[in-house]
Amino acid sequence: MTELPRLPTAGGCRETPILKQRGQREVFCGLTGIIWLHRKMQDAFFLVIGSRTCAHLLQSAAGVMIFAEPRFGTAILEETDLAGLADAQDELDKVVDELLARRPDIKQLFLVGSCPSEVIKLDLAKAAERMTQRHAPSVRVLNFSGSGIETTFTQGEDACLASMVPVLPKTDDRQLLLVGALPDVVEEQAIGLLEAMGIGPIKVLPAPRADSDLAVGPNTVYALTQPFLGDTHDALTRRGARHLPAPFPFGEEGTTQWLAAIAAEFGVSPDLFDQVTAAPSARARKAIAQAAEALNGKSIFFFPDSQLEIPLARFLTRECGMDAIEVGAPFIHKGIVGPDLDLLAEGPTISEGQDVDLQLDRAKTAKPDLTVCGLGLANPLEAEGLATKWAIELVFTPVHFYEQAGDLAGLFSRPIRRADLLKLEATE
C-alpha cells in the first residue's frame, strides 16, 4: 500500500481554535448551485420560488449570462401572492402545470425555496408531495432550500442532493457510492481508477437521469468528492450507508489518500493499488511541480466561499510550498474536513463565518501574495495591489483527481505569473 502521509510534526489544525466573527458576509446563497446542477442532471428542471432578486442572481452569478437552453427558472412572487389575494399553492400549481406541459422532457422537478418563500413559510414540501402524486409516474417533484438565510453557495448542492436521498430505492447490495456533482470527464477518471482496482459496483449521486438504477442501503459505503456535502452525508447515514472519511481528492496526495481509503475498505492489495496509481500519480506530481514553481514560498489568504478552502489549503501548503495565513470557510464540518485539517500544519488562522470588513482589514495587513475570494472582492483587492484568485472558478472547473492536479495548481499560479508578466512602464 502507498506510504502514509507525513503528518505535520508540530500537529495539524483539527484542534486549532476557530475564529468566529459575526458581521456582513460577502458570499453567494445556495441558489447559485443551480448553475452547475442543471447541467449535471439532464432531465431535471430547477424552479426557484422567489423574487426578482433570485432571478437576477441566477442570471448574474456566473458573471455572464448563460442563455443556452435554461433548465431553470424563477416563479416570481408578486404582490397578490404576498397579500394573500391569491393562494400561493394554487398559483404554484398553475406555474408548474404550464411548465410541465411545455417541457415534457422534464422527469425531475426541483422546487427550490428562497429567502422570500422561507420567510412567508410557503410549504414547498407539501407542494412537492401533491405534485408528485399529480404528475406521477412521469415526473418526480422534490424540494430543497437554496435560500440565503439558510444556505451559503455550495450548500445549495448539498441541500439538493440531500433532498434526493430519502426517495432513493432501498438496496442490500454491496456497492460504492460517489457523492458530489463533478464534471463528467473527472467522474469518469475516478470511476476508471477504482474499477481498475476491481472495486464495484460504483454508483454516483447525482445520477445524470432520474430513471437510473441508483439505490442505497446498509451495505452501501460512500465517499464524498466535495467537502460541502454535510446534510447529504447525514441523510445517507440515516439510510444506513457508511461514510469513508478521507482527505479530499485535490492534488496528488489528496487523490492518493482518497483512493486509499476506498481501496482499504474493498481490500485492494497494495501491489494492485500501486500498479493502478503509479503512472497517474507520477504525472500529477510532475504537473504540480511545474505550476508550483511560481507558488513556492508564497503566502495565501482564503476568504470564505465554497467550503473547498480547507482541502485546498492542505494541497497548496503541502504540495505547492505555499504558506497559509488565514483559511476562512463559511462553515466547517469536522466530520468531513477533519482528515484535511489533520494534514494542514498548524499556523494559519482558521476562521468560520465572516465579518467581511474585519477580514479585509486582516488581509490588507497581512499583504498575502495571493488572496482567494469571491467576485465582489477580487477587483477591489487587485486595485490595492493584492493578486487574487476568484473562488467561483474552483467550483466550475475540473480540478479533482490526478489528471487535473496540475490544472488546479495552475489556477493559483496564473494570477501570480500574470502579475510578473505585465510590464507597462517605459523601458528606461
Partner 1 sequence: MKLTVWTYEGPPHVGAMRVATGMRDLHYVLHAPQGDTYADLLFTMIERRDHRPPVTYTTFQARDLGADTANLFKTAAQGAYDRFQPQAIIVGASCTAELIQDDPGGMAETMGLPIPTIPLELPSYQRKENFGADETFFQIVKTLARPMERTKQITANLIGPTALGFRHRDDIQEVTALLSDMGISVNVVAPMTSSPQDISKMGAAHFNVLMYPETAESAARWMEQELDQPYTKTVPIGVGATRDFINEVAKITGKDAYLDTSRLRLPWYSKSVDSTYLTGKRVFLFGDGTHVLAAARIAQDEMGFEVVGMGCYNREMARPVRAKAREMGIEATITDDYLEVERVIEALQPEMILGTQMERHIGKRLGIPCAVISAPVHVQDFPARYSPQMGIEGANVIFDTWVHPLVMGLEEHLLHMFREDFEFHDAAGPSHHGGHAPKPEDGGGPAPQPAASPRSLSGKMNEGSVIWLADAEKELKKIPFFVRGKARRNTEVFASERGVAEISVDTLYEAKAHYAR
Q: One-letter amino acid identity for 273?
A: F
Task: Pick the binder of partner 1 from 152, 257, 371, 413 (CB under 8 A).
Answer: 152
Least distance (Å) from partner 1 to the CB of residue 78?
6
Helix (H, G, I), strand (E, B) or coil at 372: strand
Q: One-letter amino acid identity for 148?
A: G
Per CB under 8 A, 380 contacts partner 1: yes
Separation CA 351–CA 148 (nearest Å)? 20
Per CB under 8 A, 167 contacts partner 1: no
Per CB under 8 A, 304 contacts partner 1: no
Residue placing its CB nearer to partner 1 in the complex, 31 or 337:
31
Closest CA to 284 of 309, 262, 259: 259
Output phi, psi for 180, to 5 deg: 135, 145
Per CB under 8 A, 424 contacts partner 1: no
Task: Pick the binder of partner 1 from 18, 19, 95, 215 (CB under 8 A).
Answer: 95
CB 291 within 8 A of CB 283: no
Per CB under 8 A, 119 contacts partner 1: yes
Least distance (Å) from partner 1 to the CB of residue 48?
9
CB 123 within 8 A of CB 92: no
Residue placing its CB nearer to partner 1 in the complex, 48 or 205:
48
Separation CA 49–CA 145 (nearest Å)? 10
Per CB under 8 A, 125 contacts partner 1: no
Query: Residues 21 to 40: which contact partner 1 by CB under 8 A?
Result: 23-32
Site pattern 338..377 for partner 1 (x: CB under 8 A): -------------------x----------------xxxx
Per CB under 8 A, 51 contacts partner 1: yes
Per CB under 8 A, 52 contacts partner 1: yes
Separation CA 351–CA 198 (nearest Å)? 40
Closest CA to 307 of 357, 250, 257: 250
Separation CA 207–CA 395 (nearest Å)? 19
Strands (E), 167-276: 175-179, 202-205, 220-224, 242-243
| Cα angle 367, 387, 302; round to 5 | 65
Per CB under 8 A, 279 contacts partner 1: no
Per CB under 8 A, 226 contacts partner 1: no
The alpha carbon of 38 is separated from its chain's Cα centroid by a whole number of angstroms, namely 14
Least distance (Å) from partner 1 to the CB of residue 29?
3
Residue placing its CB nearer to partner 1 in the complex, 323 or 393:
393
Residues interacting with partner 1, by CB under 8 A? 23-32, 47, 49, 51-53, 55-57, 59-61, 63-65, 67-70, 73-79, 81-82, 86, 88, 91-92, 94-95, 98-99, 101-103, 115-116, 118-120, 147-150, 152, 357, 374-380, 382-383
